[in-house]
Amino acid sequence: MEHTPPPDTRQATDSEAIAASIGDPERFSQVFDRHWDEVHRYVIRRLGPELAEDVSAETFVVAFRARARYDLSRPDARPWLYGIATNLIRDHRRAEGRRQRILAKANAEWVTAPFDESSDARLTAQRLGPRIASILGRLSAAERDLLLLIAWADLTYEEAAQALDLPLGTVRSRLHRVRRKLRRAFGGIDPSRLQEEFA
């Protein structure tokens, strides 16, 4: 193969920048510069601006440290970054759940529901209002992660499959289930019950 002229590194694909960053860490800046806004925006949607800053920053740090394991046959790093962000969001919620349980022990009256779920519901409700929160609350964490990568991060099915390390077939069947649940939920909401749940 011929010598290629020195490439304009700003044009390099993510996989090239990641490969290059093994020897020259600075090259990873390109991945950050290219995707920070988008990933951060998504994490804000999921967690709100206060928590999002830390989780988004951690996403890129984890990505950087794990870069040697990046699958270089994937030129676009977005699915990978979203996958890491999704894991950190889940972690964050588990940690939040644990924190709440400790608080709850200190103040028994405070507790009304299992906290992993309720903290998730509470965060979502603050951001979205009870209606959509209750709808998302009917999905499992795995279903919610998948749905929101598509609906809020605008990933394609293929990209979401990569982000979550799932076969495309699983993504399709899981979305099929999600759609059924959503259809039921959008159809039959009883506002009075929601008030009780989220007031």
Which bin fits 154, alpha (ψ -120 to 50), beta or left (φ > 0)? left
**Residue 137 amino acid letter:** G
- C-beta closer to other proteins: residue 10 or 109: 10
Cβ count within 10 A of residue 192: 7
- C-beta closer to other proteins: residue 20 or 111: 20
Among 99, 138, 183, 193, binds other proteins (CB under 8 A): 183
Among 113, 138, 165, 177, binds other proteins (CB under 8 A): 165
- Which of these ranges, 15-23, 105-113, 114-122, 190-198, lies near other proteins under the rule CB under 8 A? 15-23
**Residue 151 amino acid letter:** A
Angle ∠(169,42,122) on CA atoms, nearest 5:
95
Residues 6+ apart with CB under 8 A from 71: 80
- C-beta closer to other proteins: residue 41 or 110: 41
Would you call 62 helix, strand, or coil by DSSP?
A: helix
Nearest distance in Å: CB 92, other proteins: 8
Q: How many residues bind other proteins (CB under 8 A)?
A: 81
Of 101, 102, 105, nearest to 118 by C-alpha is 101
Contact flag: residue 94 with other proteins (CB under 8 A): yes
**Residues 34-93 close enough to bind other proteins by CB under 8 A:** 36-37, 40-41, 44-45, 48-49, 52-53, 56-58, 60-62, 64-66, 68-75, 84, 87-88, 90-91
